[in-house]
Structure 1
Amino acid sequence: MSSPNESGPVLDAASPLPPEIEAADEPVKVPLAIEDWATVIIMGLLACITFANVVVRYVTDASFAWTEEFSVFLMILLAMVAGSAAVARDRHIRIEYFSESGSMARRKRLSQFGAVMVAALFFLIAGLSLRMVWDDYKFEETSPGIGVPQWWYSIWLPIVSTAIALRACGLFVRRGRREEGGAE
């Protein structure tokens, strides 16, 4: 452990996170706790399903047939929910060399451009996936593993894609206000 007089911050198990990591979420109209709790619930379900399958395999030399299909669905849903949280927190992937360089006006325009592109992409995905869900429902498609209606899984793609697009719209609005208030 280093002393407080040295150049680096002093971190131990009891110290708070550094300010760049500890940054508080921006105020948003729809609470970010929705994505946070959805992530916790999905991760908990994944852990329980996997644990139950391991125990059953160990005890009986057989496994639950539905666990792989349901786990894959949950992992995809988890990635989408985490994507929504990343967009809302402005933590999505970008090339920071371009997005964090230049004047404040340029940074604002790039941030807003990125938000518009994310919103457009996910509104497009939501629209196209609605057609897929309708086809799954209309043609009574069933899942390959356990034979449940496929639309039970596919309905979540347009829902979460719309949520991501709306989070990107909110980010666009917040980035537009950021400069007007003189904050940064």
Structure 2
Amino acid sequence: MTDGPEERVSAPTEAPEIHFDEQEIDLSDLKWDDVPVFVIFWILAFVVFLQFFTRYVLNDSLGWTEEIARFLLIAVTFTGAIMAVRKESHIAVEFLYRWIPRTGRRIAQAGIDAVTIAFFGFLTVLTIRLAGRTQQMMVSIDVPKSYVYWFVALCFGGMTVYALVNAWRHLRTGTSKLIDPQLHAQGVPRTD
């Protein structure tokens, strides 16, 4: 005999089905100038795998893989930044744009474009100067370290060019992701 109410143990119920919404992956915005970032990425992946394999499987690490992987990571970062500028996918604060009238958003977009062009242009000049002054060689292989800085300068130059193209497009069309976010969210085709 029990002192309290009887506890009923119910039979286990079926687990609810989980449905995932399959989203179609859209690669239509990739262009020929996005190929270098993918090539550098896969070279980086190979070098890191080689470093792991030689260190932990063969127990005899290749010394050059760590330095080369570091420089390839720099290369993939700056090459990817060019792609982000082209696609206008860098981080932007869109919160305040919702309460600004459209004319104010156009003025703000022009200001953002001017600051972006000036910033990338300044960094291009700065890295060119840095590359010209660098005399060091890489530690593990006999290659000048200035090559890395020249590559970064080239990437900043590419970002500057795409920032100019984007600014021109914004002025010509009168719209952008920040000026008319509702149009760009619906997938309005770009006119480039």
Q: TM-score range by the shorter chain?
A: 0.7 to 0.9
The Cα offsets for residues 12-34 of structure 1, whole Å up to 9 and x where unpaired, read as 3xx525xxxx5964xxxxx8431
Q: Equivalent residue for 1:162?
A: 157
State which of 167, 175, 184 in structure 1 corresponds to 2:170: 175
The answer to whether the Cα contact below 8 Å between 1:101 and 1:107 also exists between their aligned partners in 2 is: no
Moved over 6 A (4+): none
Change (3 A) 1:23 1:50: closer
The 5-angstrom pairing of residues 13-52 of structure 1 reads 16=24, 22=26, 25=29, 32-34=31-33, 36-52=34-50
The Cα offsets for residues 124-149 of structure 1, whole Å up to 9 and x where unpaired, read as 1111111111112xxx3212343421
**Amino acid paired to 2:116:** V
The answer to whether the Cα contact below 8 Å between 2:137 and 2:143 also exists between their aligned partners in 1 is: yes
Change (3 A) 1:62 1:23: closer
Q: Which whole-Å CA distance do the structure 2 matches of 1:32 and 1:91 have between them? A: 15
State which of 106, 109, 121 in structure 2 corresponds to 1:108: 106
Q: Which whole-Å CA distance do the structure 2 matches of 1:131 and 1:145 have between them? A: 25
Aligned pairs, number: 161
Return 5+ residue gaps in structure 1 as ranges: 4-9, 26-30
Return 5+ residue gaps in structure 2 as ranges: 1-16, 184-192
Q: Which whole-Å CA distance do the structure 2 matches of 1:93 and 1:46 have between them? A: 25
Residue identity (%): 20
The answer to whether the Cα contact below 8 Å between 1:32 and 1:88 also exists between their aligned partners in 2 is: no
The Cα offsets for residues 101-121 of structure 1, whole Å up to 9 and x where unpaired, read as 422222222222222211111
Q: Any idea what SS the aligned residue of 2:95 has?
A: helix
The 5-angstrom pairing of residues 13-162 of structure 1 reads 16=24, 22=26, 25=29, 32-34=31-33, 36-136=34-134, 140-162=135-157
Say which one has the larger Rg: 2
Change (3 A) 1:24 1:45: closer
- What is the RMSD of the two structures over their aligned residues, measured on CA atoms? 2.6
The answer to whether the Cα contact below 8 Å between 2:131 and 2:150 also exists between their aligned partners in 1 is: yes
Change (3 A) 1:108 1:156: same
**Amino acid paired to 2:93:** I
**Amino acid paired to 1:16:** E
Q: Which whole-Å CA distance do the structure 2 matches of 1:114 and 1:24 have between them? A: 26
Q: Which whole-Å CA distance do the structure 1 matches of 2:50 and 2:121 have between them? A: 37
Change (3 A) 1:78 1:99: farther
The answer to whether the Cα contact below 8 Å between 1:122 and 1:161 also exists between their aligned partners in 2 is: yes
Q: Any idea what SS the aligned residue of 1:143 has?
A: coil
